[in-house]
């Protein structure tokens, strides 16, 4: 079955450490997205990519980085510069920016 796989489901970060969240899709979608979800704040866009080797900052990109070397993969790195990284992170993909997005099951990141 086609879908989006996020791993790991739970992740813990130590102070000063960078961590990378994985997102893989086999839907052959061109566009991929990363969102951060905090209670009561809905989904906030971190980064998105419309095509391989290209990506754009979203609304809250500071302290995060991404790469898009392959169509099916869009990893997100939470750097030590992100001072409040505890949140639920969701990855999504779509054919383009106006088409429905398909979501993974999320990664919950916490601070040790």
Partner 1 sequence: AQSVTQPDIHITVSEGASLELRCNYSYGATPYLFWYVQSPGQGLQLLLKYFSGDTLVQGIKGFEAEFKRSQSSFNLRKPSVHWSDAAEYFCAVGAQKDTGRRALTFGSGTRLQVQP
Q: Which residues contribute to the site for partner 1 (CB under 8 A)?
A: 4, 31, 33, 35, 40-43, 45, 48, 50, 56, 58, 88, 90, 92, 96-98, 100-106, 108
For residues 36 and 54, is the Cβ–Cβ distance under 8 A?
no
Closest contact distance (angstroms) between CB of 17 and partner 1 is: 24
Closest contact distance (angstroms) between CB of 22 and partner 1 is: 15
Q: Which is nearer to partner 1, 16 or 40 (CB)?
A: 40
- Could you tell me which of 2, 100, 92 has the C-alpha nearest to residue 43? 92
For residues 9 and 17, is the Cβ–Cβ distance under 8 A?
no
Q: Which is nearer to partner 1, 13 or 102 (CB)?
A: 102
For residues 19 and 70, is the Cβ–Cβ distance under 8 A?
no
For residues 104 and 90, is the Cβ–Cβ distance under 8 A?
yes
Q: Which is nearer to partner 1, 15 or 54 (CB)?
A: 54
């Amino acid at each position: 079955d086609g879908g989006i796989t996020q791993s790991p489901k739970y992740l813990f970060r130590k102070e000063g450490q960078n961590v990378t969240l994985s997102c893989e899709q086999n839907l052959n979608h061109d566009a991929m997205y990363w969102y951060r979800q905090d209670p009561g704040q809905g989904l906030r866009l971190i980064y998105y990519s419309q095509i391989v080797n290209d990506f754009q900052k979203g609304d809250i990109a500071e302290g995060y980085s991404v790469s898009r070397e392959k169509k099916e993969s869009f990893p997100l790195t939470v750097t030590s510069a992100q001072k409040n990284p505890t949140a639920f992170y969701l990855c999504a993909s779509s054919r383009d920016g106006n088409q429905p997005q398909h979501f993974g099951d999320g990664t919950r990141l916490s601070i040790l």
